[in-house]
Structure 1
Amino acid sequence: MKTSIKLGVAALALATSFSFSAKAQTTTQSTSTERSGVRLSVGPEVGVPVGSLKDGYNWNFGGSIQADLPIYNNQLYATVNAGFNNFFAKDINGFKGENLQLIPVKAGLKYFAASNFYIQGEAGASFVANKDKVGADKSAAFVYAPQIGYLIPLGGKNYLDAGVRFESNTKFVDNGNNSNFFGLRLAYAFGL
């Protein structure tokens, strides 16, 4: 079974289990109050390239910082996210290419569908930090990233934010393909 299919099945299973566990718990006023307000999160990200990106790269590692700004009833938030991803180049026939380094800057919406389970969608621009080394024609490309996740309460306004997402960049090279990957973000989140 291909890696992308495995990751897709794992993400679906994760979403389903979070949804059922969230429905089984009762929602209290204190949980809603603790989750209210502006929240910042920072943490590492790992991912697996899919599509044509997997032909030249094994995996990626990076990190991001995100702000969640409440819009409506502690269920809908606006998000602003900036990060860094390093895609590690494969060794192909004794030749190893350059790592691809991207700096995505995105904004979007996060909706809490049940208790601490959320659905998030973001879009923005992704910048190539090492354009000349990787032979990119463009410095920036459009990026979008749908994500599902769960806030695990740590006490007070502190959470562990675990999310799985698919991220896609449009072409950095005129005759190339999109840069797509499945990623996992595990971040420490705290309310202000």
Structure 2
Amino acid sequence: MKNLFKISALVLAFAGLSFGAKAQTSTPTTPSTSTTTTKSGIRYSIGVDAGIPLGDFKDNYKWNLGGSVQADIPVYSDKLFVTVNAGYNNIFGKNDVVVGNTTVSPTDFHLIPVKAGLKFFPISNFYVQGEAGAAFLLNKSDVGANKSTAFVYAPQIGVQFPVSAGSFIDAGVRYEATTKYATGVDASKVNFIGLRVAYGF
């Protein structure tokens, strides 16, 4: 219940930020050159996320799979956008990890990351993006953590190109990392190189 309250509060805060940014944005006077957008100028996308763990985290976990939804709200013409992203990530534990004289199979991590940031198109269709927020661990006790929330940040680069008059594909590669979920345990930081492939409209 406490996690649900935190998640709801963050989503509402990011929604407020999004609408605030949109309210201060004037309608572009020139047509978009980066890709197609909705009539309001906001770009929505639904994507599949996958990744490979890095650092100490990779000792116990092998890969992750999930999904996310994102809104890109124009701030400056078709070059700069405020992004709001929420999703789900399942990070799969390795089988038969040797710890001392014992063999264990770490429990999967179940995360809900909620992030906001900026997306900038230096040239048509190519973008750089940076997001930060909170990642909520849904099964804290199962994985031996003492924190259910961690700070998360994710720099990303990608391409976005139209596939029809009102839709596009967004493909990006990012590094995503959190702070520790278990005090004093570096292996409880979730770090991975991820790929997001999304359908936008």
Normalising by the smaller structure, the TM-score range is: 0.7 to 0.9
The 5 A counterparts of 1:1-192 are 29=31, 31=33, 34-35=36-37, 37-91=41-95, 92-93=97-98, 94-177=103-186, 178-190=189-201
Matched residues in 1 for 2:118 and 2:161: separation?
19
Secondary structure at the aligned position of 2:183 is classed as coil
Stretches of structure 1 that go unaligned for 5 or more consecutive residues are 1-27
Q: Which runs of 5+ in 2 are unaligned?
A: 1-29
Q: What secondary structure is seen at the aligned counterpart in 2 of 1:53? A: helix
Contact 1:53 1:180 in 2 (8 A): yes
State how far apart, in whole Å, the 1-side matches of 2:62 and 2:106 are: 12
Q: Which has the higher helix share?
A: 1
> Partners in 1 of 2:35 and 2:125 — Cα distance?
12
TM-score, normalised to structure 2, is 0.77
The one-letter code matched in structure 2 to 1:62 is: G
Hey, which bits of structure 1, 4+ residues long, moved more than 4 A? none
Per-residue deviation at 1:76?
A: 0.3
Once the two structures are superposed, residues 105-130 of structure 1 have per-residue CA deviations (whole angstroms, 9 ceiling, x without a partner) of 00000001100100000000000011
Amino acid paired to 1:185: R
Q: Given the superposition, is the C-alpha separation of residues 174 and 148 from structure 1 closer, same or farther in structure 2, using an over 3 Å criterion?
A: same
Number of residue equivalences = 163
| Cα deviation 1:60-112 (Å, max 9, x = unaligned) | 00010000000001100000000111110011145212101111000000001
TM-score by length of 1: 0.81
Amino acid at match of 1:188: Y
Deviation, structure 1 residue 152: 2.1
